Amino acid sequence: MSAKEQMVRKLNSHTVEVSLPSKLGYERIAMDCSASFAKMAGFAQDRIEDLKTAVAEACLNAIEHGNKGHPNPRVLVTMNFKDDRFSVSVKDNGKGIPRIPKDTTVMRRIENLKPPKGLGTYLIKQLVDEVEFNKLTADGHTVKMVIKLTDKRLSPGKRQASGGTTN
């Protein structure tokens, strides 16, 4: 089996890569892999749950928006743990997020019982310590998330988010 056909690869002692079909349901594999890796690294269960939700949302966005639901492109999830920082990058074949909704806009839509467009990016920003949207390369778009081993999360308004338009 070639490296391209493998679903999970260990790149080095700190890095694991998961290549998923662009089909709904496969985000659960990325959730489980990231949870297992984070548990091995010593993360508390509540932080693992935050990580699982953020990874699922990033994968769902990659499948639905980045790869536009086409089954052939892959979603590449790369997990790395080093120096008390667990980073997860989710790459798709898309062109990025044209406009990241403001958090207040998402909350207003939820309060008014409207479909919460932008809920995935909102949740990611709330659950991880750092997030970078719209990291574009020649072969696609990547969302990079960092969750720290020591729980020094900032209040929701103080989290670090970069890329795209967040305000």
Q: Would you list the domain boundaries of the chain?
A: 8-150
Whether the predicted model's global pTM rises above the 0.85 cut = no
Task: Mention the CATH class of domain 8-150.
Answer: alpha beta
- pLDDT tens readout for residues 64-100: 989 998 988 999 999 999 999 999 999 999 887 766 6
Name the 3-class secondary structure at 110.
helix
Mean pLDDT for the stretch of residues 138-153: 84
| pLDDT of res. 151 | 61
Q: By the 8 A CB rule, do 135 and 144 touch? A: yes
| pLDDT of res. 105 | 62
> What are the residue ranges of helices labelled H in the chain?
27-41, 45-61, 103-111, 119-127
- pLDDT tens readout for residues 100-118: 656 566 566 566 666 556 6
| pLDDT of res. 106 | 56
How far is 5 from 120, CA to CA, in rounded Å?
A: 29
What is the pairing mode between strands 130-137 and 160-162? parallel
Name the 3-class secondary structure at 96.
coil
**Residue with the larger pLDDT of the pair 138 and 56:** 56
